[in-house]
Structure 1
Amino acid sequence: MQWQNYRMVSGLLFVASVIGMAFALYLEHVQGLEPCPLCVFQRLGLIGLGLISFIAVLHNPVRNGLKRAYAFLGTLSILWSAGVAARHVWLQSLPPDKVPSCGPGLDYLVDALPLKTVLQQVLSGSGECAVVDWTFLGQSLPVWSLVFFSILLIISIWQLFRKYPA
């Protein structure tokens, strides 16, 4: 079937990544929602999936090993986003007295600290990440992001493990 074509699925993942980033940028620049550090880290994985999928579309590998390599890298990338989104949802579900205090902004952390420390501090979350400032159908943006990333993750895993025609 045409929809099962490797290039078609990679193209679908690329377009979904572009749509996801376009929506994130719309919320930031049009709606005025400032992304918290966890939101920024979620975007990195989505951008990674988009770039890997775009390269896979352009390259259109013939060998199954290369197809699986692209699918593996894309899966790792979107797994990162899903994991960070899950952490974000967890932070938002904490009672107010259990939420970590707000820390310095991401710009300051990147300028002042080593990358390993920045990653540890950002992934531990902060008070600003627990604030729910946008909802749709009663669910926060991190919940919808987790749903979106999970769908892309399922497609990526399927792309990784499916049988390719000889």
Structure 2
Amino acid sequence: MFLNWFDTAPRRILGLVAVTCVAMLAFGLYLQHGPAKLEPCPMCIVQRYALVLVALVAGIAAFVPARGFLVASAGLMTLFAGFGGFVAARQSWLQWYPPEIASCGRDLYGMIETFPLKRAIPMIFRGGGDCTKVDWTFLGLSIANWSFLWFLFFALVGLVLLVRQLRGRSMPRHALAT
């Protein structure tokens, strides 16, 4: 039943993905600026950018009825979600197995302003002391763990959309209009 939605209402699914991403971004901003006052680490910022890209691709694809655009958007969404999931998995790994010598890293903008890009990008993924710190948990999972699970879900949704569209399943005309 659920897989039929990928054939009959792919644009609605993409709209739900976009709304979910926006809600997650809003929650992240609440954690940053609300009572918790959590400061995002460089890896958290990269995950936010990946989430913004997933939301933009899914949101735009939800409004464009062309089948070719849907296929390209599903592929891009899978790619961006996979990248975000990789960063979240790396941060989760750093949280579970912190390095022996943890140093507080610079913020993302400070790294990019101070170092050339080819040196700043590895520094972001290396993670500093801030990236290993677990400030908030829900049901025993950190923000990075939850982020990984959501990116995995978005990547799977994009992959299922991509595969079902490439298999040549004909979409009813009303599915493109919804």
TM-score normalised to structure 2 length:
0.84
Cα RMSD, aligned residues only: 1.7
Contact 2:77 2:154 in 1 (8 A): no
Give the superposition deviation at 1:101.
2.4
Distance 2:85 2:152 in 1: 6
1:14 corresponds to which residue? Answer: 18
- Is 2:44 the counterpart of 1:39? yes
How far does the alpha carbon of each residue in 1:72-95 deviate from its partner, in whole angstroms, 9 at most, with x for none?
111111111100000000000115
1:25 corresponds to which residue? Answer: 29
- Is 2:51 the counterpart of 1:49? no
Map 1:1-166; keep pairs closer than 5 Å.
Answer: 3-4=5-6, 5-30=9-34, 31-61=36-66, 63=67, 65-95=68-98, 97=100, 100-163=102-165, 164-166=169-171
SS state at 1:162 partner: helix
How far does the alpha carbon of each residue in 1:93-120 deviate from its partner, in whole angstroms, 9 at most, with x for none?
11552x5422322221111122222211
- Structure 1: unaligned runs, 5 residues or longer: none
Distance 2:56 2:71 in 1: 16
Determine which structure has greater relative contact order: mean sequence separation of CA pairs < 8 Å that are 6+ residues apart, divided by chain length: 2
Contact 2:98 2:132 in 1 (8 A): no
**In the alignment, residue 51 of structure 1 is paired with which amino acid?**
L
Q: Which runs of 4+ in 1 moved over 6 A?
A: none
Contact 1:9 1:159 in 2 (8 A): no
How far does the alpha carbon of each residue in 1:36-64 deviate from its partner, in whole angstroms, 9 at most, with x for none?
00000001111001001111112121x3x
- Number of aligned positions between the proteins: 163
TM-score normalised to structure 1 length:
0.90
- Structure 2: unaligned runs, 5 residues or longer: 172-178
Distance 2:42 2:105 in 1: 10
How far does the alpha carbon of each residue in 1:110-140 deviate from its partner, in whole angstroms, 9 at most, with x for none?
1112222221110111111001111112221
Contact 2:15 2:59 in 1 (8 A): yes
